[in-house]
Amino acid sequence: MTITNKKELLEAVKQSGYALQYASKELKNDKEFVLEAVKQDGWALQYASKELRNDRQVVLEAVKENGWAFKYASKELKNDRDFVLQAVKQDGYALEYASLKLQNDKDIVFQAIKQDRRAVEFVGEELLNKILNILNTL
């Protein structure tokens, strides 16, 4: 079932972002429409068009609502240092889906843990080993 009536579906996504999955291809590529969906439920990002999963504003809104929504961001954004830094400041759990390189970036990791201490679970192996080596010398 695909719904193409923007007004009708806009009301639905304001109630549940998951309603985005029933939108037409055109609506899944409509920035205003997708923003409403991800503001209500960040996980709705998975139903957005490929173009909008690479849109900084859309992805940040999704991450703000739910850090794990970063899973559905484009590969480019997951490897964009400045963007990942913004994302982990919104929700430390976004670190889980950052590129491996950025999971080893001490500034990004610090910000992620500062935002949510449980993000330590997603620290890259290389950085974790450096930290452990330092601790072993104390």
Residues 107-127: b if buried by 16+ CB within 10 A, e if exposed:
ebbebbbebbeebeebbbeee
**Residue 125: is its pLDDT beyond 70?**
yes
**Residue 69: is its pLDDT beyond 60?**
yes
**Residue 80: is its pLDDT beyond 90?**
yes
Q: Which residue has tokens 């899973």?
A: 71
Q: Report the pLDDT value the prediction gives residue 132, as an integer from 0 to 100.
A: 87
**Residue 8: is its pLDDT beyond 90?**
no
In this prediction, residue 18 has a pLDDT band, given cuts at 50, 70 and 90, of confident
**Residue 29: is its pLDDT beyond 80?**
yes
